[in-house]
C-alpha cells in the first residue's frame, strides 16, 4: 500500500474519530452548564434574584454597560421582600447585595479569617496586590492602624489644611479661566486637583515635577483599569493598571526613603509621610538599641504600598464628594446662602490668610453640609467582601463560601434618618444630632475594624473646598435632563460630570503670602 493511500486512510480515520466525539463534547459542555445553573440556584434558594444566568459571565455585561441600572435593580429586588438583600451572578461569582443596615453591620463587624475578607474591589487583589491595608485583619491590622494614627493627630491635620488650601486655590483659579465663555465639566478637573492635593499632603516635597507627571500618567492608567474586566493579558487596560500600581508604589517607596533621611536629622514634619516616619524612626532606633529585629511595617517598600492605599482611598472618593457638593449647593440655594453667610463671618478671601484649624472648627453649618453631602451621596456606595466560609446572615439564610457580598452604604443612608430623601444639613446640627441618633445608618466611612482611618482628613478637605469655592466663585449648573443621575466611575458622580458656569466672585483671590510654591 502506498504512503499516499496510508495517509488518506489515517486522515479519514482521524476525521471520523473527531466527528464521533463532537456529540460527546457538546453533551459534556451542556452538562457543565447545567451544573453551573444548579449550583447558582442552590445558593440562591428563595432569595430575590434572576432565576437563570448566562454561563460563566452571568450578568457582568449589564453591570459593565449600565452599572447604575444594575445596582438599582438589585436594590429593587432587595426591597421586594422583608429580607433586605438580593443575589446575582458575575463571572463565575455568586454575589449578595445587602441594603438592610443591620445586616451590613453584621458583615462589617465580622471581617476575620473565618468569616468575611474585605476586598474593596471585586478584583482588588489582582489589581492592588497582596500588600493592601484592606486585606489585613486581626492583630496585624491593629498594629498597622496604630502606626498610622500619628498621621491624623490635630497637629498633623492642621499642617495638611494649609497644604490643601494652597492646591485648592491654584486649581479654582484655573477653573474660572477655563470657564470664561462656556460651561465646563469639572469631574476631571476635580480629580486632578485631588490628585495633586493627595501627592502634596502625603509626600510633599519628595515628588518633583517630572515625578508628578509620571505619577499622574500611571494613576490615569490605574483609574481606567478599575472599570474593566480582569483580563490580565499584555496590552489590556487591566494589565496596564496592575503595572501602573507597581510603579506608583515604587515611587512612593522612594519618597519614604527621602522622608526618613529628613526626619533622622530632626527636622519638622511638613507632610503626612514625615509624621509617619517620625514615629517609625523612633521605633527603629529603639529596636536597634534593644538588639531586636526592626519593627514590622517599617521598610520603604511596605510603606510605599500603604501610601498608595491612602492615595486610592483619598482620591476618587474625595472627587465624588466635591462634585456632589457643587451639584447639591446649586439645587439648594437656601443652603448655599447660609454657607456663604457663615464663612464670610469667619474668613474672607481678601484677608490673604489661610483658614486656620480653629476657624475650620467654627464653620459648624458648613461642616454639617459636608456631612450631609457624604450621607446623601456616599462616594463608595458598595463595599465588597468575600465570604471565607459559609456565614449565617439570617436565621433562614447562610451566605455560601466564596460569595462576594456587597453591603450598600447608599441604601443605608436612606434608612432611619428623618425624611432621608431630602437634602437637609440641619439634621447634623447640635439641636437635632441625627449623626448620633442614626449613627448606625451613616456608613459612608464604613464600620467595624476597617472603618476609614482618614475620615477626619476627608471631611476637612470637603469643608475647605466648600468654604473656598462658595466664597471665591459664583457658579451655576448647566442643567440638562438627567444631568444629576448617578453614574459609577467607579465612585459615583453626576451623569454630566457636573457641568457648571463659573465666574470670579471675590474682589481679589487670596495670595497666601509667605507660603512657598509647591510641586516644583
d(CA 91, CA 63): 11
With CA atoms as reference, report the closest residue to 303 among 269, 264, 255, 271: 255
> Can you say whether the dihedral through the CA atoms of 264, 270, 272, 275 is positive or negative?
positive
d(CA 205, CA 447): 34
C-alpha cell at 454: 482618614
Q: Output the CA–CA distances (angstroms, integers) from residue 150 to 19, 261, 371, 450, 471, in the order listed.
A: 70, 18, 24, 17, 32
d(CA 29, CA 35): 10
- Contact predicate 324/494, CB 8 Å: yes
With CA atoms as reference, report the closest residue to 457 among 168, 152, 204, 165: 152
d(CA 482, CA 515): 42
With CA atoms as reference, report the closest residue to 335 among 411, 437, 429: 429
SS3 387: strand
C-alpha cell at 368: 454639617
SS3 507: coil
d(CA 394, CA 98): 12
- Contact predicate 127/238, CB 8 Å: yes
- Contact predicate 376/406, CB 8 Å: no
69 by Cβ neighbours in 10 Å (0-12 / 13-18 / 19+) ranks as: exposed
C-alpha cell at 78: 432587595
Say if residue 490 is preceded by a cis peptide, omega within 30 of 0.
yes
Residue 367 CB contacts under 8 Å (≥ 6 apart), including other chains: 428, 459, 463
SS3 content of the chain, % helix, strand, coil (to 5): 60, 10, 30
d(CA 159, CA 153): 10
The answer to the question of whether 255 is labelled as a binding residue is no
Residues in the annotated binding site for heme: 452
Residues in the annotated binding site: 452
Amino acid at each position: 500500500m502506498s504512503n499516499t493511500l496510508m495517509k488518506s486512510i489515517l486522515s479519514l480515520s482521524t476525521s471520523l474519530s473527531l466527528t464521533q466525539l463532537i456529540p460527546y463534547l457538546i453533551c459534556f459542555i451542556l452538562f457543565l452548564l447545567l451544573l453551573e445553573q444548579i449550583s447558582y440556584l442552590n445558593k440562591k434558594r428563595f432569595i430575590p434574584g434572576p432565576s437563570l444566568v448566562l454561563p460563566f459571565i452571568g450578568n457582568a455585561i449589564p453591570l459593565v454597560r449600565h452599572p447604575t441600572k444594575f445596582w438599582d435593580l438589585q436594590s429593587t429586588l432587595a426591597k421586594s421582600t422583608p429580607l433586605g438583600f438580593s443575589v446575582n451572578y458575575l463571572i463565575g461569582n455568586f454575589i449578595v447585595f445587602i441594603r438592610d443596615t443591620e445586616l451590613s453591620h453584621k458583615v462589617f463587624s465580622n471581617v476575620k479569617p473565618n468569616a468575611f475578607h474585605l476586598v474593596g474591589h471585586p478584583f482588588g487583589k489582582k489589581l492592588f496586590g497582596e500588600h493592601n491595608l484592606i486585606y489585613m485583619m486581626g492583630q496585624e491590622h491593629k498594629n498597622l492602624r496604630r502606626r498610622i494614627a500619628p498621621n491624623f493627630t490635630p497637629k498633623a491635620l492642621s499642617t495638611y489644611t494649609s497644604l490643601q488650601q494652597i492646591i485648592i486655590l491654584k486649581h479654582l483659579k484655573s477653573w474660572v479661566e477655563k470657564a470664561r465663555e462656556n460651561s465646563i465639566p469639572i469631574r476631571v478637573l476635580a480629580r486632578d486637583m485631588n490628585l495633586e492635593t493627595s501627592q502634596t499632603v502625603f509626600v510633599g516635597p519628595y515628588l518633583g515635577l517630572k515625578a508628578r507627571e509620571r505619577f499622574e500618567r500611571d494613576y490615569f492608567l490605574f483609574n481606567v483599569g478599575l472599570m474593566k474586566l480582569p483580563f490580565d493579558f499584555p496590552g489590556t487596560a487591566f494589565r496596564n493598571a496592575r503595572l501602573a500600581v507597581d510603579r506608583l508604589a515604587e515611587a512612593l517607596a522612594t519618597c519614604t526613603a527621602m522622608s526618613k533621611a529628613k526626619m533622622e536629622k530632626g527636622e519638622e514634619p511638613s507632610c503626612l509621610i514625615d509624621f509617619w516616619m517620625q514615629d517609625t524612626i523612633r521605633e527603629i532606633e529603639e529596636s536597634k538599641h534593644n538588639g531586636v529585629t526592626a519593627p514590622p511595617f517599617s521598610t520603604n517598600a511596605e510603606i510605599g504600598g500603604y501610601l498608595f492605599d491612602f492615595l486610592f482611598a483619598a482620591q476618587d472618593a474625595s472627587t465624588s464628594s466635591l462634585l456632589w457638593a457643587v451639584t447639591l449647593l446649586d439645587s439648594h440655594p437656601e443652603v448655599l446662602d447660609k454657607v456663604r453667610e457663615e464663612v464670610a463671618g469667619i474668613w474672607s478671601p481678601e484677608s490673604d490668610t489661610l483658614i486656620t484649624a480653629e476657624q475650620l472648627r467654627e464653620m459648624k453649618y458648613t461642616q454639617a453640609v459636608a456631612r450631609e453631602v457624604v450621607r446623601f451621596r456616599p462616594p463608595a456606595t458598595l463595599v465588597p467582601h468575600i465570604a471565607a466560609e459559609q456565614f449565617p446572615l439570617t436565621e433562614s439564610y447562610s451566605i455560601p463560601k466564596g460569595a462576594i457580598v456587597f453591603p450598600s452604604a447608599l441604601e443605608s443612608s436612606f434608612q432611619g434618618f428623618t425624611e432621608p430623601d431630602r437634602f437637609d444639613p440641619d439634621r447634623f446640627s447640635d439641636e437635632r444630632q441625627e449623626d448620633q441618633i442614626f449613627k448606625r445608618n451613616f456608613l459612608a466611612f464604613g464600620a467595624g475594624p476597617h472603618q476609614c482611618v482618614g475620615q477626619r482628613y476627608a471631611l476637612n478637605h470637603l469643608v475647605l473646598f466648600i468654604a473656598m469655592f462658595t466664597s471665591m466663585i459664583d457658579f451655576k449648573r448647566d442643567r440638562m435632563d438627567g444631568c444629576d443621575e448617578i453614574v459609577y466611575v467607579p465612585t459615583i458622580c453626576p451623569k454630566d460630570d457636573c457641568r457648571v458656569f463659573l465666574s470670579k466672585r471675590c474682589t481679589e483671590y487670596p495670595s497666601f503670602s509667605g507660603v512657598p510654591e509647591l510641586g516644583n
